[in-house]
Amino acid sequence: MSGESFLGLEIKGYTFKCLVCQNPEFLQRDIPPNAANISAVDGDSANQSADGAVCTDCGYIHDFAYGSNYRWVRWRR
């Protein structure tokens, strides 16, 4: 997979790694409102999708609320 682009996540300046296998590379996916495990504090939150980070190694899906303190970074192998 030489030359392929991968996404990583930074949270408050730290590199985020998969909680299962510690891999730092992810695929970005939108998670629909009905599938996301988002606790609604107000009625509007229940209709928002989440930003999904799918681990490229083990496939574990991490979900983040849009507007959280994270950013996607892109690098090449």
- pLDDT (tens digit per residue) in 33-73: 765 455 555 555 556 778 889 999 999 999 988 777 888 99
Residue 26's pLDDT is what? 93
Closest CA to 56 of 77, 35, 32, 70: 77
Residue 10's pLDDT is what? 93
Q: What are the E-state strand segments in 1-77?
A: 5-11, 14-16, 26-31, 50-55, 61-65, 70-76
CATH number of 5-76: 2.20.25
CA distances from residue 59 to 43, 63, 69 in whole angstroms, order as listed: 31, 13, 23
